[in-house]
Structure 1
Amino acid sequence: MKLNVLAIVAHPADSFDMIGGTLANHVNDGDNVTLVVMDSTDMLNIFSLADEMKKGKVSQARIEEAVQNHVQSVTDACHILGLEDVRFLKYQGEWLCHSPELVGKMADLIQDVRPHLLITHNPLEDGGASEHAVCGRMAVEAVYVAEGARDTELPPHHVGQVYFMYWPGVTTWLDATTANRYGAIMIDVTERIEQKVRAYAQLSAHYVNMRHAAKLMEGICGGPGHHIRVAYVEGFQPYRPEVYKKLPISEHNLWLSGKGWKDGIKKVKLIAPYLEGVQECSDDR
């Protein structure tokens, strides 16, 4: 069965570092994947431009150039992952805040795309105070709005499952205490790790090159994978309970059940640091 997958993320990089391999897996299997990135019209999430502004006034022409370059880099990164349906959901203000209007727009997207699966952020991330959490909360609310009787031209739609992406690290102490940092479901993205590294390396405005991208992917995808005998993984937490006739077991765990320790450890390959272009890059960005 061909699936419709909708991902709603707070920032462009969230598309690549945490879920890029999973989205690429779905694309490779022929599923329809739509990526929606929240896009502020007032606060530009461009690190290099912020550094320029710190040194002095920046012209409007330079700001517009930086925005165009950043949007193009995001588009290029998505193409590396095979993502063609990429949309930007614009909002007013310098910080993503909860808005009934944005919830309605997300519900419109759900009714339009009609996803079987929706991927977003955990609403409890960083104690609910981060833009990730706000994005996730609105996406969950939109799931319920979209299945109701709305005064629109779009028919209602029930999303089969919502998956929260997870970040295996701690930005603030709120991250360590409010949101589970371990995925209940791990997706093997070993075959996509080169795409992930090359996609993330497109974000030059964030001072990212192949070397930094490889280090990041080795940490966030390689570390969690090591414990479950997979080279690289992306983790997710399901929102709804899954229902089966029998207790499920993944192909990977079934394979491991008949193998020895050495067989499992051999699967944990080191790939990202040795990709072409990584060693040639400098740490000086």
Structure 2
Amino acid sequence: MLPDTEINQVLVVTAHPDDADFGSAGSVALFADRGVEVTYLLVTDGDAGGNERALDNSGMAELRRAEQLAAAKAVGVTDVRFLGYPDGQVVISLELRRAIARVIRQVKPDLVITHHPDRNYKFIAPSHPDHRAVGGATLDAVYPDARNPYAFPELVEEEGLEAWTVREVWLNGGSTPNHWVDVTEVMDRKLAALQSHVSQISHVEGFTDFVKARFAAWAEQAGFAEGRYAEGFQVVPTA
């Protein structure tokens, strides 16, 4: 794994608003506290989210973008980008790979965090089709697209974006995590980020207790002491 001292720029690529906050907001807060620059790239605006159709899709997208900006602020992220793909309709495509590779070349991250591209048969929630598509497209953008100067030559010729090699990827939502981050000290900020997504969680009774129980269980799986909270990832080296 990359040593902490060699992680200076992180790119988090997700399908929807709130995905980063469920998956990695605690780790992001710890990175931000160390002075690491973190960028969020959201493939959709979450326009098909929500539990009551009180808003049309464009209204929901506007609301969810605002919620994500507030959530990002809670953990120290100010660079938030949206690609605007339709929620619920994301597929791996050359267009999506190019869009993600473009941002990788712009941001030049040492580490990329994204969804696991495989279905999780132990816990279905992380396996939304958009999540799996974004995870797969991001891995393709990391290798080979962003690092290959011959891939999408228009990125170099028209935009001046030279090839960039991401050194490591962390996948969340999979069934085989092999790296755990103790987020106990920033759990309040992770919860604040999640609670920014009012349109998604206001109907969930006992939401805070639910979140704490989930991340306490992962801390237990990681072998941490009682009373700790953890986020789990599968680390993918890219050398």
- Tell me which interval the TM-score lies in, with the shorter structure as reference length: 0.7 to 0.9
1:12/1:39 CA distance change after superposition, 3 Å: same
Q: CA deviation at 1:77?
A: 1.1
Question: 1:224-262 CA deviation, whole Å, 9 max, x = no partner?
Answer: 1124124000001111279xxxxxxxxxxxxxxxxxxxx
Q: CA deviation at 1:155?
A: 0.9
10, 14, 17: which one aligns with 1:9: 14
Which residue in the other structure is 1:108 paired with? 102
Please list every run of 5 or more consecutive structure 2 residues that lacks an aligned counterpart in the other structure: 122-126
- How many residues are paired up? 218
1:132/1:64 CA distance change after superposition, 3 Å: closer
Q: CA deviation at 1:31?
A: 0.5
Which residue in the other structure is 1:76 paired with? 70
AA at the equivalent of 2:224? R
Alignment of 1:180-259 (within 5 A): 180-208=174-202, 212-227=206-221, 228-230=223-225, 231-240=228-237
Q: CA deviation at 1:44?
A: 1.7
- Residues of 1 paired with 2:188 and 2:200: CA distance? 19
AA at the equivalent of 1:79? K
- Residues of 2 paired with 1:93 and 1:86: CA distance? 17
Which residue in the other structure is 1:31 paired with? 36
- Residues of 2 paired with 1:181 and 1:12: CA distance? 22
1:219/1:104 CA distance change after superposition, 3 Å: same
Which residue in the other structure is 1:142 paired with? 141
- Residues of 2 paired with 1:81 and 1:90: CA distance? 23
Q: CA deviation at 1:194?
A: 0.5
Please list every run of 5 or more consecutive structure 1 residues that lacks an aligned counterpart in the other structure: 53-57, 167-179, 243-285
Q: CA deviation at 1:126?
A: 4.7
Superposition TM-score, scaled by structure 2 size: 0.82
Superposition TM-score, scaled by structure 1 size: 0.70
- Higher radius of gyration, 1 or 2: 1
SS in 2 for 1:206: helix
- Residues of 1 paired with 2:215 and 2:20: CA distance? 14
- Percent identity over the alignment is 23
Q: CA deviation at 1:141?
A: 0.5
Which residue in the other structure is 1:90 paired with? 84
1:215/1:45 CA distance change after superposition, 3 Å: farther
AA at the equivalent of 1:139? T
Contact 1:182 1:235 in 2 (8 A): no
Contact 1:21 1:195 in 2 (8 A): yes
- Residues of 2 paired with 1:132 and 1:64: CA distance? 21
Contact 1:6 1:118 in 2 (8 A): yes
SS in 2 for 1:86: strand
SS in 1 for 2:237: coil
Q: CA deviation at 1:82?
A: 1.0
Structure with more relative contact order (C-alpha pairs < 8 Å, separation 6 or more)? 2
Aligned Cα RMSD in Å? 2.4
1:67/1:157 CA distance change after superposition, 3 Å: closer
AA at the equivalent of 1:233? A
Q: CA deviation at 1:223?
A: 0.7
155, 162, 176: which one aligns with 1:155: 162
Q: CA deviation at 1:23?
A: 0.6
Question: 1:168-213 CA deviation, whole Å, 9 max, x = no partner?
Answer: xxxxxxxxxxxx5242110010011001111111211113379644
Contact 1:49 1:66 in 2 (8 A): no
1:89/1:194 CA distance change after superposition, 3 Å: same
- Residues of 1 paired with 2:59 and 2:133: CA distance? 29
- Residues of 2 paired with 1:28 and 1:119: CA distance? 17
AA at the equivalent of 2:113? I
Which residue in the other structure is 2:171 paired with? 164
- Residues of 2 paired with 1:220 and 1:36: CA distance? 25
AA at the equivalent of 1:18? G
- Residues of 2 paired with 1:196 and 1:70: CA distance? 17
SS in 2 for 1:82: coil
